[in-house]
Amino acid sequence: MYGTSTKTDLLIILAITIGSFFVFAQFDVLEQIVVISKEYEAFEIDELVASAMVFSTCMLVFALKQMRVAKQINEQLHKQNQELQEAMTRIKVLEGTITTCSYCKKVMDSAGEWHQMETYIDAHSEAQFSHGYCPSCLKKVNKDIEHYTRKDT
State pLDDT tens for residues 107-128: 998 899 999 988 888 888 878 8
Mean residue pLDDT of the chain comes to: 84
Closest CA to 45 of 31, 28, 57: 31
Q: Mean of the pLDDT values across residues 68-93?
A: 88
HSE value, Cβ hemisphere, 13 Å, CA-based, for 112: 0
Task: Give, to the nearest 10 degrees, the angle between helix 45-90 and helix 2-27.
Answer: 160
Q: How confident is the model at residue 1 (pLDDT cuts 50, 70, 90)?
A: very low
Q: pLDDT confidence of 152, banded at 50, 70, 90?
A: low
Please report, for the chain, the start and end positions of each structural domain, with discontinuous segments joined by +: 2-90, 99-152
Predicted pLDDT at 79? 96
Cα–Cα distance measured from residue 121 to residue 118, given in angstroms and rounded to the nearest whole number: 5
Q: Mean pLDDT, to the nearest integer, of 10-29? A: 84
pTM of this prediction?
Answer: 0.41
How does pLDDT run across 36-69, given as a tens digit for each residue? 878 888 778 778 888 888 898 888 888 888 888 9
